[in-house]
Amino acid sequence: MRNKVTKAIFPVAGLGTRFLPATKSVPKEILTLVDRPLIQYAIDEARAAGIKEFIFVTSRGKGALEDYFDHSPQLESELRRKGKKELLKTLKETNMDSGAIAYIRQHKAMGLGHAVWCARRLIGNEPFAVILPDDVIAAEKPCLKQMVEAYEETGGSMVAAMEVPHDKTSSYGILDVEQQFGNMLPVRGMVEKPAQGTEPSNLAVIGRYILAPSVLNNLNKIKAGSGGEIQLTDAIAQEIAEGRRVNGLRFDGQRFDCGSKAGFLQATISFALARHDLRDELFDYMNSVVAMDRAAQ
């Protein structure tokens, strides 16, 4: 019987320089899509997949991120006094039980692989998930839940995969797969940010992983790779080289790259349009903007 995936690492140590000046004082992960911060979407997805222990790899200046998951007795009391039950319920969904969340510092920006390695002592000898909050995925069944269900059938390690345009492959970790049909993709190789024209496919790894504990051992041995950083892709590729199973899962859902301004804006509009209380007013506004733009032309 396979061990269940109950631990997840959230690498949140980045400076968020693409969102300056906002991120001068506010962690990027607290930036909101409509009325929920990026990190809340990641936590909700993890909870839906059965995650019980949440490990945040942080850095200096992330205090607001830690405070976000703490209880707020004064605010809760005020909402209760005013009878705002729905807001109180929403607020309580942001709370984390004592002991459920842990914070590890990454003192140097040495890449995703290094961030994951920093949490090794809290993972031990168990399979674990990695969730990148920048990648927000809208799906009927949450992406990580899809992966956990597939992992229970296959074991090994698993990465979320999606097709990207060939001229964008140099921005991703790219899979070399035995087959390109179906949702389950047996992986025979991985390349981090391949030079244009050398990519083995257009199947990109995006920010969801289920990893065997042996990946942490690989990270112990790996030297800096692409961009002078310790790449998680290299550690997963080592699994393949040593004969251990790695699969890509072509997930059902729409991924938004909220690490970019354009992707963040697209996600904001998409999530707002999915809200019954916002859709009509926003849709009317968007139509009026398009009409004005056409009139100006």
pLDDT tens digits, one per residue of 147-192: 999 999 998 999 999 999 988 898 888 998 887 767 889 999 888 8
Ranges 157-166, 189-198, 223-232, 256-265: which has the least confidence = 223-232
- Between the two ends of the chain, the Cα-to-Cα distance in Å is 65
Task: Assess if residue 281 is contained within a domain.
Answer: no
- Measured between alpha carbons, how far is 88 from 79 in angstroms, rounded to an integer? 6
Average pLDDT of 282-287?
91
Give me the amino acid identity at 69: F
User: What region, left, alpha or beta, does residue 95 occupy, with left being phi > 0 and alpha being psi -120 to 50 degrees?
Assistant: beta
Task: Assess if residue 280 is contained within a domain.
Answer: no
Secondary structure element (H or E) that encloses residue 73, with its range: helix 73-81
Task: Assess if residue 223 is contained within a domain.
Answer: yes
Task: Assess if residue 178 is contained within a domain.
Answer: yes
**pLDDT at residue 72 tops 70:** yes
243, burial (CB in 10 Å: exposed 0-12, middle 13-18, buried 19+) = exposed
Q: What is the pTM of this model?
A: 0.89
Q: Are 20 and 170 in contact (CB under 8 A)?
A: no
How many CB atoms within 10 Å of residue 291?
10
Q: Which of 83, 95, 5 is nearest to 50 (CA)?
A: 5
Q: Name residues whose C-beta falls within 8 Å of residue 200's C-beta, 6 or more positions apart in sequence.
A: 174, 175, 176, 177, 189, 191, 194
Task: Assess if residue 222 is contained within a domain.
Answer: yes
Domain count of the fold of the chain: 1
- Measured between alpha carbons, how far is 141 from 283 in angstroms, rounded to an integer? 26
Q: What is the pLDDT of residue 227?
A: 63
Q: Report the relative pairing of strands 173-177 and 184-192 from DSSP bridges.
A: antiparallel
CATH code where residue 255 lies? 3.90.550.10
Structure tokens at 160: 């979320």
Ranges 22-26, 30-34, 53-57, 125-129: which has the least confidence = 22-26
- DSSP structure class, residue 39: H
Decide: helix, strand or coil at residue 295: helix
Ranges 33-37, 67-71, 122-126, 259-263: which has the least confidence = 67-71
Q: Name residues whose C-beta falls within 8 Å of residue 24's C-beta, 6 or more positions apart in sequence.
A: none
Task: Assess if residue 168 is contained within a domain.
Answer: yes
Q: Are 38 and 28 in contact (CB under 8 A)?
A: yes
- Measured between alpha carbons, how far is 96 from 100 in angstroms, rounded to an integer? 6
Q: Which of 44, 98, 45, 53 is nearest to 71 (CA)?
A: 98
Task: Assess if residue 124 is contained within a domain.
Answer: yes
Q: Between 29 and 100, where is the model more confident?
A: 29
**For 5-42, how does the pLDDT look when each residue is reduced to its tens digit (9 = 90+)?**
999 999 998 878 888 888 888 888 999 999 899 999 99
**pLDDT at residue 61 tops 80:** no
Average pLDDT of 99-105?
85
Q: Give the domain range for residue 255.
A: 7-259
**pLDDT at residue 87 tops 90:** no
Q: Are 205 and 175 in contact (CB under 8 A)?
A: yes
**Averaged pLDDT of the chain:** 89
Q: What is the pLDDT of residue 225?
A: 60
Structure tokens at 286: 């968007």
Task: Assess if residue 1 is contained within a domain.
Answer: no
Structure tokens at 7: 């631990």
Instruction: Compute the half-sphere exposure of residue 207: CA atoms within 13 Å on the CB side of its CA.
Output: 23
Q: Which of 223, 219, 215, 222 is nearest to 246 (CA)?
A: 215
